Structure 1
Amino acid sequence: MMILKDILYKVSLDIVIGATDVAINQIQFDSRAIEKGDAFVALKGTAVDGHEYIEKAVSQGATAIILEELPDYQEESVTYVKVSNAHNALALMAANFYDNPSKQLKLVGVTGTNGKTTTTSLLYQLFKKSGFKAGLISTVEILINEKVVATKHTTPDPLTINKHLADMVSIGVDYCFMEVSSHGIAQERVTGLEFAGGIFTNLSHDHLDYHNSFAEYRNVKKRFFDDMPKHAFVLTNLDDKNGAVMLQNTKARKLGYALKTYTDYRAQIIENQFGGLLLKINEHEVWSKMVGQFNAYNVLAIYACAIELGLDEIEVLEVISQLQGVSGRFQYFTTVENKITAIVDYAHTPDALKNVLETINSIRTRNEKVITVVGCGGDRDNTKRPKMAHIAAALSDQVIFTSDNPRTEDPQKILDDMEKGVQPQDFKKTITILDRRQAIKAAAKMADKNDIILIAGKGHETYQEINGVRSDFNDRTIIADFLNQLQK
């Protein structure tokens, strides 16, 4: 319980009708969760406008309503607070309500198109193995030191973030590593958080269904660094053409990392194979279980971050050699009998798919086939579909286009969009199988000894969403079952 005026600290207020010295039990932005004594924040979303539920919130006992548009009738016993941006207000209120937990630990945010999950997860592992209590807020899971919490969004809502950070503070967590998505920045979910550091991984085609243009997508990412405090550090990938852009207006300490550019933190790939990477980082050699150039950037980023947070260089390198890959990110196994390698990866953007296939092609001997199973999600950016198909067909020996998560969209339409990107010389390489399970089965049957199967797009996900219904579906277990059956 907290007094409303304290919860509203730093919130820009336009109009206040009623008392602000009232006690508030909880903050809610879902009217269905309102109980007596709660404050309701009316958010305007893409599908739902919270202002339509103000009357319901009041009837359920809301003490205060934070809104952008005042209703014609105001209940005398309720306080109405008009703000220009309710999303911004919610974020600041959430931080105040939970006693600004981000200031009580060292919070590092990671943003970019690809690599966020791997980088944050590796940082969590590194600091845990280095003897610290650590937290993780990622696409795959939320970890409060050892405790696992399920997650639905890359960047959760501000109430959820601050609650988990407060839980971390309560058990003495020293560091928390958090994925920061473009949606999360645009919707003010990370507003009010104090970051000790920020990492930029890379920028490529994604989320253009939400952002109107690539420039808008880039500028939203940049905003995260623009708002970074003076005492923080910013690590940016200077091999990415947008890396330097992220540093333009930040007040934080500016640092770069790269494989090809001379900067603060540099790495060189000495060996790259399915077993892992041998890297030379700032004149020290280190072996990593991670695979591919894209993971060399991730490893370099976590090394640089750890050093900036004060860890010992040699100890960091020793721990890096012990770190495990992340679920659904270049996760692979090889069958015992036929030596067929199956790789499951979350690659769902053109750049991510290109990175994975280029990594496979750089390691393979060319005496084997690369068979790729790939689809694109429904109700999402449809401009990347032909690009994904073009990359898959150009960099694979055989390709099966199939469903990903169609959601509410016609799966065949998604595949039709993809097929438009296949070049004439690659037509013979491709087939389309609408049912994802059957597509994976076909790939298993097509594979000969030593062949490589890549199943891209869903990675760690254990479901498939069709017509708004989620059913159990796990790429890893399905390909393993089919390959095992063929070996018997």
Structure 2
Amino acid sequence: MKLTALLEDLEYTCCQGDENAEVTDVVYDSRKVQKGSLFLCIRGAVVDGHTFVPDVVKKGAGVLVVEEKVEAPEHVTVILVKDTRYAMACISAAYFGHPARRLKTIGVTGTKGKTTTTYMVKSILENAGYRVGLIGTIEAIVGDKVIPAVNTTPESYVIQKYFKEMADAGCDCVVMEVSSQALMLHRTAGFEFDFGIFTNIEPDHIGPNEHRDFQHYLECKSMLLRQCKVGIVNRDDKHFEQIIKGHTCALETFGFSEKADLRAEDAKLVSGKGWLGIDYQVRGMMNFQVEIDIPGKFSIYNSLTAIAICRHFKVSEKDIVNALRVAKVKGRIEMIKVSDEFTLMIDYAHNAMALESLLTTLREYHPHRLVCLFGCGGNRSKLRRYEMGETSGRLADLTIITSDNPRYEKPQAIIDDIKVGISKTDGKYIEIADRKEAIAYAIHHGEPGDIIILAGKGHEDYQEIEGKKYPMDERVLIADILAGR
């Protein structure tokens, strides 16, 4: 492929070499460079790609895309750009033939609700006959292929590669989670989303190598509304005016507010043997009743967001209702039927904010007891342990403290830190370090009307100990416990 074709959407300076050079492939990992490669010098938090120039030139790289002047042999073409991450997005889109133009693209950002919303959208659209690709926190789904995720939003090159595979596999559209990091690092540059969705925003991801403060976090997330044709925003969010500031898209809103274009009204909690849900009326741009087998007010927001998106795909009300009734997301308030007497669920809540939201929601169902089983990850902030301990101690009737991913720490040391937080409350607790034994205790001691939550692991199917990942899926553990294994 000609270099000029790859650079068509970029402002650049050719410092040396031939702009008409033939490029065999596009690479940002120095280990993958071959003869004729275009190598992007990406400046990361730990490693600077510019330092690999001598190495990649020896391997045969024919083109270097850089942010600063570098020394290279005369036969190597050097392209200087303002930002190599932005350049990577544009070059990758061109390299794969601009596959986003062959798909309807849906990007979902927000502090909470991204994962659940994307799966609800996928469920509704597939129920209506569309072929849908997905990119998110849990996995990427490309045609019949499922790829476990490393980041919520992959690097721009990977996104474009997935888009091409989806389009080639006959997908009509793709729904993807868009993290604030992805927007900040231009992973979703190089194309324009057909629909950009903003679910909500709360302080999160603030610290070293993330966002310097909440304002920066909000500004990065709001970039999506300048990278899409239609923006769909939560009207109830207290930061709404800041979120939409400077938007360049057509704007629609959803929420409970009377000002919202698509509204939820008359919400009611519903429950049955071993399950919890919610029922509400859709008003405004559409009018019908919805019932979902996922509890809580945030389930209304997630489903209403999905409806606001799928409305643009001419999906019938019947298809929406049927799809939402069966929509499930692995590890996100995922109910596992173990008894008609009590409800058990798995959720990814792994910080105090998420745990507080979850336990407060479940309290609204007036359980006989609210039982919370969780641990905390090793080699991570001790503050998270104190906060989660205090939150569970305050909101749960019984806390079962166990192990999560201890990594290089001793499980008991992590448990002791969690107990520091619980000690600030009057909450009852027990400690069982082995997670399977802890889950068995929760199931065997479940009382009629209990809601039992297994928090922290969610979709994860492993436990990380001393640098190794061992298979551990809570669904498998539950099945083994019920079978007496």
- TM-based fold match above 0.5: yes
| Number of the residue aligned with 1:244 | 241
1:444–1:312 CA distance, 2 compared to 1 (3 A): closer
Q: 1:24 to 1:414 in 2, by over 3 A?
A: farther
Partner of 2:395: 395
Residues 270 and 280 in structure 1, CA contact (< 8 A), matched pair in contact too: no
Shift of 1:419: 4.4
Give 3-state SS (helix, strand or coil) of 2:217's partner.
helix
Q: Do the aligned partners of 1:463 and 1:472 also contact (CA within 8 Å) in 2?
A: yes
Aligned partner of residue 317 in structure 2, secondary structure:
helix
Equivalent of 1:80 in 78, 81, 102: 78
- Structure-2 separation of matches of 1:389 and 1:218: 28
Partner of residue 261 from structure 2, selected from 239, 261, 264: 264
Q: What corresponds to 1:342 in structure 2?
A: 344
Partner of 2:359: 357
CA contact (8 A) 1:238 1:261 kept: no
Deviates more, 1:372-381 or 1:242-251: 372-381
Distance 1:21 1:295, change over 3 A: same
The equivalent of 1:471 in structure 2 is: 470
Change (3 A) 1:350 1:84: same
SS in 1 for 2:278: strand
d(CA) in 2 for partners of 1:422, 1:357: 15
In structure 2, the partner of 1:284 is 288
Is the CA contact (8 Å cut-off) linking 1:205 and 1:349 kept in structure 2?
no
Aligned to 1:369: 369
1:333 aligns with 2:333: no
2: CA distance between counterparts of 1:302 and 1:484?
Answer: 37
**In 1, Cα distance between the equivalents of 2:400 and 2:447?**
16
The more displaced of 164-173 and 26-35 is 164-173
SS at match of 2:149: coil
Which of 113, 116, 141 is equivalent to 1:115? 113
**C-alpha displacement of 1:91:** 1.0
Q: Is the 8 A contact 1:200 1:243 kept in 2?
A: no
Q: Answer whether contact 1:233 1:253 (CA < 8 A) is retained.
A: yes
Displaced runs of 4+ in structure 1, greater than 6 A? none
Quick one: distance in 2 between partners of 1:242 and 1:467? 42
**Counterpart residue type for residue 215 of structure 2:** A
Partners of 1:403 and 1:221 in 2: how far apart? 33
Percent identity of paired positions between Structure 1 and Structure 2: 33
The code of the aligned residue for 1:203 comes to: I
The answer (yes or no) to whether the contact 2:373–2:453 under 8 Å persists in 1 is yes
- 1:159-198 alignment, distance < 5 Å: 159-198=157-196
**Greater Cα shift, 404-413 or 110-119:** 404-413
2:35 maps to what in 1?
A: 36
Q: Quick one: distance in 2 between partners of 1:474 and 1:255? A: 40
Distance between the aligned counterparts of 2:178 and 2:68, measured in 1? 29
Matched letter for residue 327 of structure 2: Q
Amino acid at match of 1:285: Q
Q: How many residues align?
A: 476
Maintained 8 Å contact 2:331/2:459: yes
TM-score normalized with structure 1 length: 0.90
**RMSD of aligned C-alpha atoms?**
2.5
Query: Cα distance 1:22–1:15, how it changes in 2: closer, same or farther (>3 A)?
Result: closer
Distance 1:434 1:217, change over 3 A: farther
Decide whether the 8 Å contact of 1:126 with 1:320 is kept in 2.
yes
Q: Structure 1 stretches of 5 or more lacking a match?
A: none
- Could you tell me whether the CA contact under 8 Å between 1:110 and 1:179 is conserved in 2? yes
How big is each residue's C-alpha offset from its partner over 1:321-377, in whole Å with a ceiling of 9 and x where there is no partner? 4432111111122324x7343210112243332232123222244xx3222112334
TM-score by length of 2: 0.90
Q: Give the SS at the match of 1:334.
A: coil
Alignment CA distance shift 1:237-1:216 (3 Å): same
**Distance (Å, rounded) in 1 between the aligned partners of 2:165 and 2:360:** 41
